[in-house]
Amino acid sequence: MAQGVCKLTGLRGKFVKSHLIPKALTRPETPGAGLIQSGPNRIPIRRWDSWYDSELVIQAGENILTALDTWAVSELRKQKLVWSGWGAMRKLTTEATSSFPPHWGLRSIRNIDTGRLRLFFLSLLWRAAASSRPEFSEVQIRPQDLESLRYMLLHNDPNPLSFYPIQLTQLSTVGIVHNLTPLRQIKTIPAIGDGPERSVPIFRFYFDGLIVHFHCQADNDGVSESRVSVGGDNELLITTVTYEQSFQRENLELIITETYGP
């Protein structure tokens, strides 16, 4: 590996291979079968390894990211927030989610460190924004925001919560196992009570049946302090949707159809 300055620690040393999304969460359903990888304006391809960057961090920086990854993978699986934690299940049990028939649901999780979980997700945002890999090119943030993310990771500090608030949705039934590059989108937040409908720019990350929304602007209505925002409360509320009715399925089918035809 080449020598250089670690983008996380600022120290000089030998670069190491660093996964931008943990490899444990981007594995095929059948070992050795490969994964479908898709993204906007990209031909779907089959990969045997997830995305990594060889000029992002040295070992000291990788140690920080690995500690977050190791903890998060274990917790996400234990809480059944990712498909690889479901075992033989093909859908979430009624004990795990409150159902809003026919396709939507809501989960409440209390026994997880939401602050540490927020740091893990922020580390994914930092990696994507700091990397030069073309697959992550839609994740563009201001240099001062990138520096703030770096500081938060170095000092193990998930605050302020209004800085790129995070909300989660998980797929409540198992679908096609695939990777999707992060997307920049506009999210519509419906009117609630006296509040008007709003449109918020987001970065959308997906892996192993879990969808992560990073709001690209600070909210001024208290959402970042609420139960729907990761780190905003000891209880975390997560929306669920079946794979069959999800954007995830529609987007994957659209990309394949545009590439190969109906």
Burial 73-101 (b: 16+ CB within 10 A, else e): bebbbebbbbbbbbeeeeebeeebbeeee
How far is it, in rounded angstroms, from Cα 97 to Cα 88? Answer: 17
Residue 27 has what pLDDT? 72
How far is it, in rounded angstroms, from Cα 176 to Cα 127? Answer: 26
Residue 250 pLDDT > 60: no
Residue that is written with structure tokens 């920080």 in the block: 64
pLDDT tens column, 94-111: 666 666 667 788 899 999
Residue 242 has what pLDDT? 86
Comparison of pLDDT for 203 and 47, the residue scoring more = 203
Q: Exposed (0-12), middle (13-18) or buried (19+): which is 231, by Cβ within 10 Å?
A: buried
The CB density around residue 195, as the number of other CB atoms within 10 Å, is 10
Domain boundaries, the chain: 3-260
Closest CA to 25 of 43, 50, 45: 50
Comparison of pLDDT for 261 and 230, the residue scoring more = 230
* Phi, psi of 77, deg, nearest 5: -70, -45
pLDDT tens column, 60-98: 999 999 999 999 999 999 999 999 999 999 988 766 666
How far is it, in rounded angstroms, from Cα 241 to Cα 197? Answer: 21
Residue 132 pLDDT > 80: yes
Residue 260 pLDDT > 60: no
Q: How confident is the model at residue 39 (pLDDT cuts 50, 70, 90)?
A: low
Residue 253 has what pLDDT? 42
The mean pLDDT of 214-231, rounded to a whole number, is 73
Residue 245 has what pLDDT? 66
How far is it, in rounded angstroms, from Cα 57 to Cα 8? Answer: 6
Residue 231 pLDDT > 80: yes
The mean pLDDT of 131-146, rounded to a whole number, is 93
pTM for the full predicted model: 0.86
Q: Which residues pair with 36 in a beta bridge?
A: 46, 178
For the four alpha carbons of 60, 61, 67 and 73, in that order, the dihedral sign comes to negative
